[in-house]
Structure 1
Amino acid sequence: MTQMTQTRMHIGPVQIGIAVCTLATALIHLYEAVQPGEDLRTWFILNCIGYLVLLIALFLPQLFAYHRLINYALIAYTAITILMWFLIGLPSASIGYVTKLIEVLLIILLVTEDLQGRRRPSAYPAS
């Protein structure tokens, strides 16, 4: 049998920031989805669900062996969300700009967490 790897994730300010930013952007997308006359309702709901699923996966102990991969997936998902906002045509509502700032901060926090994990040998299980 293989040796059991560490299954506890370090929870500090960076991880709390990741959770707060991810929840904030998910809830803002859900809020936008329920606005009357919203043409992108389905996309906003799916975006909310995507953020929530990735957040849960990121902190789920059973998926700790895949933490780094999930971290990268959340970075990519957030970057695609930002890119799509630009491609749609920069909606003029100020909530869109606030959401993009939160998402940029989320990417910064996720990259920071990855860099911290690389410095701590026990932070990620051996592949």
Structure 2
Amino acid sequence: MTQITQTRMHIGPIQIGIIVCALATALIHLYAAVQPGEDLRTWFILNCIGYLVLLAALFLPQLLAYHRLINYVLIAYTAITIIMWFLIGLPSEPIGYVTKIIEVALIAFLVAEDLQGRRHSSTFSA
């Protein structure tokens, strides 16, 4: 007899925060890409796609074994986005500052989820 185990990810406030922040920053980058005269159009579109792909990968049940790795990649991706914004020269539009606040919140949610996952796994491994 074959036993089928189904593992589901818990969706709580932290995960909802991750979803909201990642979608918000992806949509803001897409919005920035369609503005007239935007020199960084391609980079904004790629950034939007990157956030959406990593967000989907983070919650796909088929990739649950790689969840922690994807979490770290999304943290690094978000940090690189913030760093690149500083290197490009701090655009003066307020939406840029709002996006960075959202991205910092995204990193905080991702770190909180990782810590939550470590606590959860340590209680089951004892």
TM-score, normalised via structure 2 length: 0.92
Aligned identity (percent) is: 84
Greater share of helix residues, 1 or 2?
2
- Report the counterpart of residue 38 of structure 2 in structure 1: 38
Contact 1:8/1:61 (8 A) holds in 2: yes
- Report the counterpart of residue 72 of structure 1 in structure 2: 72
Comparing both chains, which one has the higher relative contact order based on Cα–Cα distances under 8 Å and sequence gaps of 6 or more? 1
Query: What SS does the aligned partner of 1:121 have?
Result: helix
Consecutive aligned runs of 4 or more in structure 1 exceeding 3 Å deviation:
3-6
Between the aligned partners of 2:113 and 2:90, the Cα distance in structure 1 is 29
Q: Cα deviations across residues 57-98 of structure 1 (Å, max 9, x unaligned)?
A: 000000000000000000000000000000000000000000
How does 1:82-93 map onto structure 2 within 5 Å? 82-93=82-93
- Report the counterpart of residue 96 of structure 2 in structure 1: 96
2:112 partner amino acid: T
TM-score, normalised via structure 1 length: 0.91
Gaps of 5+ in 2: none
- Report the counterpart of residue 21 of structure 1 in structure 2: 21
The root-mean-square deviation of aligned C-alpha atoms, in Å, is 1.9
Name the count of aligned residue pairs: 122
How does 1:56-71 map onto structure 2 within 5 Å? 56-71=56-71
Between the aligned partners of 2:50 and 2:74, the Cα distance in structure 1 is 9
